[in-house]
Amino acid sequence: MRITSPLSLDSSAASYEQKSFIHNPITALSQIGKEAIVPYLITRLTLLLVGLLATFYILPLQSNLPILPSHAVQIHFPQALWLMWERFDSGFYLDLASNGYWSASTLHTASNWAFYPLYPLLMHVIGLLFGGTFNSFRLAGLLISNISALAAVVYLYLLIHKDFNHRVASRTVFYLALFPMSFYLSAIYSESLFLMLAVASLYYARKQSWWLAGLCGGLAALTHAQGVLLLLPIAWEYLRVTSNSYAPLPTPLPKPLIARARTWLRYWLSGLLLAAHDLRNWVAGSALLLIPAGLFAFMLYAKYKTGDLLATTHTEQWGWGRQLSYPWRLLIYFLRHPILGEPLNWNFWVFNIVLAIVFLGCIVWAFRRLPAIYALYTLVMVILPLSSSQLDAIGRYYLLVFPVFLLLALWTDSKNQSAHAFVIAICTSLQALLMVFFILGLPAIA
């Protein structure tokens, strides 16, 4: 694992840029707005226009099937502005916000216990402030999603700017916004809230603010199943920083790989042994326990409500057909059993299988090009969805794997403009098409 230096900037220029960014708040805010928030908002406006066109000109053409949204309800203005973002699992979040979790008797069905509580809880609180009607919960969900997405963009820009430079940070945010499934960041879904908390957790870890990193990680564990896995990259960063403060690695390291590994391991263990004698390190390290504490709090609530500490795991298995399995078995099965030409199937096979292969390859790329904390985040966020025995919704889950967009930014930044144009062309075309599919309510992209 190695940390790539900022591209196209020498060390002194990068240092000057970082100091200028930190010590001039007005310049920093202007730069964030121009290079992160404005490009992101432009993509949201584009998606809104695509969605309205699909709502008024394509949705009325489809047959009225129970599984698809009714165009009679959707095509009235201004309701179309918010109803277009309510599809598929949005109904579960709205039901959770208004009625709470179902009884224990539903655990053997597609129960809402498969959904984590923080997002619908925030919807409930804000929805009550707006009157407690069903439309109030809709509005609350949209507000939370879109505000969280903007906050995620800011945190992502700050994180990448800290480790690379403003150009790479801006391009990373841009690629996130252009990812074909990024319309879920604006929908009544928990993806934007989780992304904000996950990026914030890594950002504070890089700043060595361990309690804030742990708190954001714990809240992420209350938002998505992947949240508890933040413990791995955050713990690695804590151990790396702590060890290095007591036994800094010599530079340069030996060139032979085995000698380099031995040197690294010797200094790493020596540093941790020295750090173990200082109580302050144990106190700081205990902040990381907040991450699994978020999941454990949800499990205790499930035990109280249903009598089953593992209610979420069991309903995923019994009602939703998801259980832990080896990821290669899933890939082999779906490669041998393609699903083609079935828009009402819950698996968009071509798109999902391509994404799975590409993102698996990005794990190796991340370990070669990025700091270990990014690479470990990529590893756990790519592998967990593939370990669920289902290929459904893989694109939505991979929307959260932001280091892949960083890798793209580094690649196009080191190439000519044609590489950047290629990424834009592919992503915008797919994003517009899949946004139309989303408006039509085709389960293939749910």
Provide the percentage of residues in the chain whose pLDDT is more than 70.
Answer: 94
The pLDDT confidence band at residue 22, using thresholds 50, 70 and 90, is: low
Geometric angle at alpha carbon 224, from 219 and 228, rounded to 5°: 65
Whether the predicted model's global pTM rises above the 0.95 cut: no
Lowest mean pLDDT among 54-63, 273-282, 333-342, 379-388: 54-63
Share of the chain above pLDDT 90, in %: 69
The tens digit of pLDDT for each residue in 289-317 reads 999 999 999 999 999 999 999 999 999 99
Question: Residue 103 and residue 87: Cα distance in Å, rounded?
Answer: 24
pLDDT category of residue 6 using cuts at 50, 70 and 90:
very low
312-322 confidence digits (pLDDT tens): 999 999 999 89
pLDDT digit string, tens, across residues 240-289: 999 999 988 887 777 777 888 888 888 889 989 999 999 999 999 999 99
Show Cβ contacts of residue 372 under 8 Å, excluding neighbours closer than 6 positions. Answer: 1, 233, 236, 237, 240
**Residue 239: pLDDT band by 50, 70, 90 thresholds?**
very high
* Residue 189 tokens, joined: 């879904």
- What would the pLDDT profile of 199-216 be if each residue is shown by its tens digit? 999 999 999 999 999 999
- 45-59, 213-227, 327-341, 379-393: segment of lowest average pLDDT: 45-59
Q: Which residues contact 138 (CB under 8 A, 6 or more apart)?
A: 82, 86, 94, 188
The three-point CA angle 391-92-126 to 5° equals: 130
The pLDDT, as a whole number, for residue 416 is 72
What would the pLDDT profile of 420-444 be if each residue is shown by its tens digit? 988 999 999 999 999 999 998 989 8
Burial environment of residue 222 by CB neighbours within 10 A (0 to 12, 13 to 18, 19 or more): buried
**For residue 398, which of 359, 371, 429 has the smallest C-alpha distance?**
359
Q: Quick one: pLDDT band at residue 8, thresholds 50, 70, 90?
A: very low
What backbone torsions phi and psi does residue 92 show, to the nearest 5 degrees?
-65, -45
Q: How confident is the model at residue 2 (pLDDT cuts 50, 70, 90)?
A: very low
Averaged pLDDT for residues 335-364: 92
Mean pLDDT in residue range 174-192: 96
- How far is Cα 402 from Cα 172, in angstroms, rounded to an integer? 8
One-letter amino acid for residue 105 of the chain: S
- Spell 29-53 as b/e; 16+ CB within 10 A means b: eebbeebbbebbbebbebbbebbbe
